[in-house]
Amino acid sequence: MKIAVIGGGSTYTPELLEGFFSLWQRLKPLKVSLYDINEEKLKIISEFLKRMIKKSNTEIEFSATLGLEEALKDADFIISQIRIGGLSARLQDESIPLKFGLLGQETTGPGGFANALRTIPVVLDIAKKIEKISPNAWLINFTNPSGIITETLSRYTKVKVLGLCNVAINLQNDLSSLLNVPMDDIFLDCFGLNHLTFTKRVFVRGKDVTEEVFKKIKEQVSRRISKKDKKIVETIKMFPNYYLQYYYFREEKIKELKKKPRRAKEVEKIEKILLKLYQDPDLNEKPKELSQRGGALYSTAAVNLISHLTGLQKGFQIINITNRGAISDLPEDSVVEMPVFIEKDRVQRCIIGKLPLEVRGTIQAVKAYEQLTIEAAVECSYRKALMALTQHPLVSSLTLAEKVLSKLIEANKKYFPKLS
Ligand code: G6P
């Protein structure tokens, strides 16, 4: 089996490789090929990964390349984890909206919009190569904004794509500590969009433990379960994705973000430290410093998905996938985040039905924003881009949308499609 990693030069890749060690035991022989456009980073990561593989006593056949075609050739799985424009573009996404009193965040609101406009043309180009070179491979998309990118690929290409995010698996992990049960025993009955999900019920080995969890959350606040999450739980009676803070506590979050250094700046520092560590010839396992990044457990999520799709195990997983009527209040062709049951190549959606009234408006508005953003990028439409931002719940103003869009276009000249 072969796994290709697009954006393999990311400092996150050692975490991914660690997950592949357990796959190797069950799927050998296993080839892993990294592709990146940044030669320097790719080299540093590759040398480090080779040491990790040696230490692991596995026989993973490893390669790294600056040629996408080479990485894609014979791939069974392709993992996409790219960031167009790197951290300097992320810094703009997090800074420009704040100047207008809007949310500056890399995946949510106008920052996520700019990220999408930069990324859509690139992933569509990559998809053309996948269609030609490895049409039967599964593409596992982590590239942000993950829901928007997965929907773009589902609507406009023939690539077999599923989107993943680490938020659901982290909630599962947190609840596993809260309830003192193994993570795999937990099932989350959740629905929504990427970074905008709600968990209605929690089950442990089929038993509904929602009320117990509500009670425990009421009693404690932890690193993961913040006061804001607690308040949301008490009000809407569902467990929120932590990105919901940006919607439900908008003013407070914007104030907080203005006071702090931008996350892109912090990540830049962490990356420097990581790259230095990775160059240490004596280092042969994932350093603890990597946990300062936000991607915890993304490797476990990817390995679970590969295990499900190859038939090594069957079970439920929360993924981003085309709706096809599972959520009746959202377009059929739109991508939603929800649990599915996977048994080899068969991916069965759970039926969610109608969205609860309390959250229906927000989800529908964000879905409309997402679809307009995709269409703006594909059709190079300024009007759709403007309307996407105008009706986003975190903007809701044509005047502000016009101002922020003009600055985002200026800052992203090199990357945005030519909007007219
Ligand atoms: C979580 C989110 C990702 C996001 C990441 C940011 O994992 O689910 O979508 O990219 O956090 O982490 P960072 O360390 O880059 O701020």
pLDDT tens digit string along 60-99? 999 999 999 999 999 999 999 999 999 999 999 999 999 9
CB 121 within 8 A of CB 152: no
Whether 166 is in the pocket of ligand 1, judged by its Cβ within 6 Å, is: yes
Residues acting as catalytic residues: 243
Q: How many angstroms is it from 298 CA to the middle of ligand 1? A: 10
Ligand 1 closest atom vs CA 293:
14
Residue 132 Cα to ligand 1 midpoint, Å, equals 31
Whether ligand 1 lies within 6 angstroms of the CB of 144 is answered as yes
The yes-or-no verdict on residue 224 having pLDDT over 70 is no
pLDDT of residue 119: 99
Burial class (CB in 10 A: 0-12, 13-18, 19+), 150: buried
> How far is residue 227's CA from residue 229's CA, in Å, rounded to a whole number?
5
Pocket test for ligand 1, best of 108, 244, 267, 293 (most atoms within 8 A of CB): 293
Q: How far is the CA of 324 from the centre of ligand 1 (A)?
A: 28
pLDDT for 223 equals 60
Which of 50-54, 137-141, 223-227, 265-269 is the least confident region? 223-227
Distance 142 CA to ligand 1 centre (A): 10
Residue 221 has pLDDT above 80, yes or no: no
Per-residue b or e along 271-287, where b marks 16 or more CB atoms closer than 10 Å to that residue's CB: beebeebbeeeeeeebe
- Residue boundaries of the structural domains of the chain: 2-164+264-309
The amino acid occupying position 79 is: I
Q: Which one-letter amino acid corresponds to residue 416?
A: F
Q: Is the pLDDT of residue 270 over 80?
A: yes
Which of 84, 267, 290 to mutate for ligand 1's pocket (most ligand atoms within 8 Å of CB)? Answer: 267
Residues paired with residue 341 on neighbouring β-strands, in sequence order: 316, 348
Cα 293 to ligand 1 centre (Å): 7
Residue 18 and residue 287 in contact, taking contact as beta carbons nearer than 8 Å: no
Distance CA 2, CA 78 (A): 9
The CATH class that applies to domain 2-164+264-309 reads: alpha beta
146 CA closest ligand 1 atom index:
9
Q: Starting at the earlier edge strand, list the strands of the sheet with 138-141.
A: 61-65, 31-35, 2-6, 77-80, 138-141, 160-163, 315-322, 335-343, 346-349
- Ligand 1 pocket residue status of 165, Cβ below 6 Å: yes
Residue 257: is its pLDDT beyond 90? yes
Average pLDDT, the chain: 96
Q: What is the pLDDT of residues 104-158, one digit of tens each?
A: 999 999 999 999 999 999 999 999 999 999 999 999 999 999 999 999 999 999 9
Q: Do residues 298 and 311 make contact, with C-beta atoms less than 8 angstroms apart?
A: no
Give 109's Cβ-side CA count (13 Å radius). 31
pLDDT score for 225: 72
Residue 373 has pLDDT above 90, yes or no: yes
Q: Which pLDDT value is given to residue 222? A: 64
Q: Is 295 in the pocket of ligand 1 (CB under 6 A)?
A: yes
Do residues 35 and 66 lie in contact, with contact meaning Cβ atoms separated by under 8 Å? yes
Q: Which two tokens stand for residue 335?
A: 């991508």
Q: Which atom of ligand 1 is nearest to the CA of 107?
A: 9
Q: For residue range 93-106, what is the model confidence (pLDDT) as tens digits?
A: 999 999 999 999 99
* Gap between the Cα atoms of 144 and 12, Å rounded: 14
The pLDDT, as a whole number, for residue 134 is 98
Q: Look up tokens 């709600």; give the residue.
A: 198
What pLDDT, in 10s, does the model give residues 204-215?
999 999 999 988
Q: What is the mean pLDDT of residues 281-298?
A: 96
- The full 3-state SS of the chain, as one line of letters, equals CEEEEECCCCCCHHHHHHHHHHHHHHHCCCEEEEECCCHHHHHHHHHHHHHHHHHHCCCCEEEEECCHHHHHCCCCEEEECCCCCHHHHHHHHHHHHHHCCCCCCCCCCHHHHHHHHHHHHHHHHHHHHHHHHCCCCEEEECCCCHHHHHHHHHHHCCCEEEECCCHHHHHHHHHHHHHCCCHHHEEEEEEEECCEEEEEEEEECCEECHHHHHHHHHHCCCCCCCHHHHHHHHHHCCEECHHHHHHHCHHHHHHHHHHCCCHHHHHHHHHHHHHHHHCCCCCCCCCHHHHHCCCCCHHHHHHHHHHHHHCCCCEEEEEEEECCCCECCCCCCCEEEEEEEEECCEEEECCCECCCHHHHHHHHHHHHHHHHHHHHHHHCCHHHHHHHHHCCCCCCCHHHHHHHHHHHHHHCCCCCCCCC
Does residue 164 surpass a pLDDT of 70? yes
Nearest-CA residue for atom 16 of ligand 1? 294
Contact status, residue 350 vs residue 339, Cβ threshold 8 Å: yes
Q: Whose CA is nearest to atom 5 of ligand 1?
A: 294
Question: Which residues sit opposite 319 in a β-bridge?
Answer: 338
